[in-house]
Structure 1
């Protein structure tokens, strides 16, 4: 095997070593692709096919235009103040339940995931809004950090998700169908989170104590420190407060997802609707000033450029890796196990889960996913699924699996976002421990979707 696949194996080893060195992943992927093309004595004209793939498959792909628009939508919503008011209202709704604030954070994570799809923005926003209040209410740090990190990562699965847009391009399946398929599993994870919090609030109430009554002087002090207000400070009737704070996000979610699922708009057009709607919400909340708009556009450009550069580098890496026999290596390793269809599927899910410890979802999507698709297409699960339905189901399983990559050390980005927010008040060890139950809940959701494919395929079948 070494004689035949030695360079492909060395390529993977070099990639992992480069990642641990801290070198930028986009340049690492592209550089390794070019370096091993020379080491493997690949003809120079072959690199021209890499350029063709980059321009024809990425730069000219109109579907990827949705990415900066969804990024803009998420960042603009972060600045609009919608999330802050909604968290206050949800806290009032669950304020008399142990873990009520944590449940409010989980619900807000679901709502904002369906409005943004940006992991970094969601985790930072939830952390800045909720973490100081949770610690002030004497929440156990492991519980506070865990629910914030896990809820913030729901945006990678619940549509509109940038990852699903990229997967649709890679697998050549409808992004709208992927959005429909991922909606129920994403909501399922939210239900699992909330169920876990309710159980822990009953078993360990001291971990998530009820909020204490706050005096007006205390509330003023909290405002001076930039912390959120507790639920006693809003005297608007709760039904009216819920209506007030949910209308904006609900209309935006309906406009974006509804237009895609009903076929009224393409994902790119719906992303434009979402970007415009987020700006209108910011204007309504008087949060859209020139400085805010400039900051959002600048951050959108940086985030979109980062994603694009990683995709370009991953394309170069994957093309050379395949030329060196990497696809045959993966196929021989997987199919040579002698496992049945479900055994192979579990093996692939385990492989992706382990890779998530070291690689970002973009690299896994563009480097690993194309290598696994031919294997999956040959599997017969006895479900009578068409080729497109099988790929959609597999894509949703991969998306659920990749959500864990944001939470698993050593390179779980949500953990480092959260670490930056705490400003040294909470150690990284505590943050690592906080995500363990939520990773188990994500794996539980993954297993449920494997055992019951209808969880992912029911909505696409209902709305073809």
Structure 2
């Protein structure tokens, strides 16, 4: 690499970004660029061919044998089972009944539903599609503004990548060598803060502009006893499952992998109790879970190959060289990294950004001195969480925000793309406000991990 300076590894990033725009599978883009540059470096004598054999052992050791990553398939199974078994549908119906007299009650029910479902799965696509299918027709019937409806559904469905047990946090823990329990506890208050900002926005908007979110005038047809039974059957079980899974992790009773197993088993039991667990349903859940897992771990393998070749060609030194040339203060460097991640979110998914950016910037962030408010031993934890908050925007920012296209597919014939784009703008601003608060007040992230003793 030294013969070529930083140009060679930096060009790897440029070629990768260009290929990702083609729509070719991300895993193949990562692996293909890595192999292409490795082959070129072998020809010019900058890369030892024997190093390629180390990539296989690295994929096996860091992915296949990684006990932390075992939690991902089970968390995915848990979320897919709750969605397909109808448990999530019942939960939304109950929340809409409870919120019927509150300004913007149905929109609030969607936000609360998204928050609860976020604590069961990190599969944003499934959450957005489910919320869209359940809430979109009802909100349309009640006269809700289309743009507001789209914004509420899309933003609520993305909470799953931040609120634990988030698959993204599991991956971040592995990439940054941070205990997943630390990340889960650190993300609790930022996740609730973001959900709280959504709630405040919905209530204030409904009060100031009631025509956007008309209040329901239909009384509840059942008795108080019916409502209690409804709560016991549809609200308490999934909420209790969330508390058991998260509580066991937060208080050190179980590892994330063990808690994921409990969650997958508990979701299956809930489906059985709801009377919807059938062989065909189980087959669909296993199939969908396997597809999602194959996608995630395929990208893992491609990213491992890419990052190995990138480092072997001096990529880490190239990044440090560029940052030294900029000569930025540590806080300005942090702002630059956050801005870069935000801009990448317009074009790429969180998984791509996480696997490419975090390993590169880890040593740089670990060396930052941001004052007494962020101890050096906690800086990587804090950085991981603010990155997670930042990556919320990657699902909502056009032109390639995945949540926008999930909702577009669900709302064909009732939602225009313009309505969706217009609706997500205030929620993207709320996400940036949450990011600013977590940066200005690090205790939002760091207090809870310290309080529970991690």
1:390 corresponds to: 379
Segments of structure 1 that go 5 or more residues without pairing to the other structure are 214-230
Query: What CA deviation, in whole Å up to 9, does each residue of 1:11-59 have, x standing for no partner?
Result: 2222222122111111111011101111233221121222222111111
Cα drift, residue 233 of structure 1: 4.7
Query: Is the contact between residue 382 and residue 442 of structure 2 (CA under 8 Å) also seen in structure 1?
Result: yes
Q: 2:297 aligns with which of 308, 314, 318?
A: 308
Matches of 1:3 and 1:430, distance apart in 2: 49
Q: Which moved more, 1:101-110 or 1:240-249?
A: 240-249
Closer, same or farther: CA 303–173 of 1 in aligned 2, 3 Å: same
Helix, strand or coil at the partner of 1:44? coil
2:16 corresponds to: 15
Closer, same or farther: CA 385–328 of 1 in aligned 2, 3 Å: same
Matches of 1:422 and 1:140, distance apart in 2: 14
When the two structures are aligned, how many residues end up with a matched partner? 447
Query: What CA deviation, in whole Å up to 9, does each residue of 1:301-332 have, x standing for no partner?
Result: 10001000011111111111222332223223
Helix, strand or coil at the partner of 1:138? coil
Question: What is the RMSD computed on CA atoms of the aligned residues?
Answer: 1.8
Q: 1:292 aligns with which of 281, 297, 300?
A: 281
Cα drift, residue 423 of structure 1: 2.2
1:456 corresponds to: 445
Matches of 2:222 and 2:307, distance apart in 1: 54
Helix, strand or coil at the partner of 2:220? helix
Matches of 1:174 and 1:106, distance apart in 2: 29
Helix, strand or coil at the partner of 1:207? coil
Q: Which moved more, 1:77-86 or 1:327-336?
A: 327-336
Cα drift, residue 386 of structure 1: 4.6
Helix, strand or coil at the partner of 2:214? coil
Query: Is the contact between residue 373 and residue 442 of structure 2 (CA under 8 Å) also seen in structure 1?
Result: no
TM-score when scaled to structure 1? 0.92
Matches of 1:43 and 1:433, distance apart in 2: 52
Structure-to-structure mapping, 1:72-111, within 5 angstroms: 72-111=77-116
Closer, same or farther: CA 384–418 of 1 in aligned 2, 3 Å: closer
Structure-to-structure mapping, 1:152-163, within 5 angstroms: 152-163=157-168
The answer to whether the aligner puts 1:420 opposite 2:409 as a matched pair is: yes
Query: Is the contact between residue 85 and residue 281 of structure 2 (CA under 8 Å) also seen in structure 1?
Result: no
Cα drift, residue 95 of structure 1: 1.5
Segments of structure 2 that go 5 or more residues without pairing to the other structure are none
TM-score when scaled to structure 2? 0.94
Query: Is the contact between residue 102 and residue 144 of structure 1 (CA under 8 Å) also seen in structure 2?
Result: yes
Structure-to-structure mapping, 1:134-153, within 5 angstroms: 134-153=139-158
Query: Is the contact between residue 330 and residue 368 of structure 2 (CA under 8 Å) also seen in structure 1?
Result: yes
Query: Is the contact between residue 173 and residue 388 of structure 1 (CA under 8 Å) also seen in structure 2?
Result: no
Q: 1:346 aligns with which of 335, 351, 358?
A: 335
Query: Is the contact between residue 314 and residue 367 of structure 1 (CA under 8 Å) also seen in structure 2?
Result: yes
